[in-house]
Amino acid sequence: MNASRFDIGLMQLNKIDGEAGEKVIASLQEICPDLAKNIIEFGFGDIYSRPELDLKSREIAAVAALTALGNCQPQLAVHLNAALNVGCSETEIKEVILQMAGYAEFPAAINGMFAFKQVLEERSGNH
């Protein structure tokens, strides 16, 4: 049922992205509720809830891809938070970004690292 995909997705979203994810979804609701629904149902309900890969590996993959693509800074920030939320250490996340200097481009790695710096500052400001 759709309801169930949505409910499973919302639960996953909250577990992974916390407040940052909720804010993105809330903001999308105003302009295009169906895109918000698709992200929750498909992205989090269908994909992220699959048991084939642990959440830590999923966030390593997400941080790697978004750092490499280099044109999705807001989503990268969400997933840098998510990576910390699901148990990646600061060192591991920095290392994934650093590794991207060899697969994507140095500028992508630099911009990814500055994005992480800001995420860490925001999180430490919250405590």
**SS3 at position 98:** helix
Q: State how far the alpha carbon of 92 is from the alpha carbons of 32, 36, 53, 66, in Å.
A: 35, 30, 18, 16
Q: Which structure tokens are listed for 69?
A: 């693509």
Please give the biggest Cα pair distance in the chain. Answer: 45
If binding means CB under 8 A, how many residues of this protein chain bind a copy of itself?
Answer: 61
CA distance 17 to 27: 15
Q: Which of residues 4-23 bind a copy of itself (CB under 8 A)?
A: none
Which residue from 23, 27, 87, 122 is in contact with a copy of itself, where contact means CB under 8 A? 27
Binding mask 43-72 vs a copy of itself (x if CB under 8 A, - otherwise)? x--xxx-x-xx---xx-xxxxxxxxxxxxx
Residues near a copy of itself (CB under 8 A): 1, 24, 27-28, 30-32, 34-35, 38-39, 42-43, 46-48, 50, 52-53, 57-58, 60-72, 74-75, 91-92, 94-111, 113-114, 116-117, 120
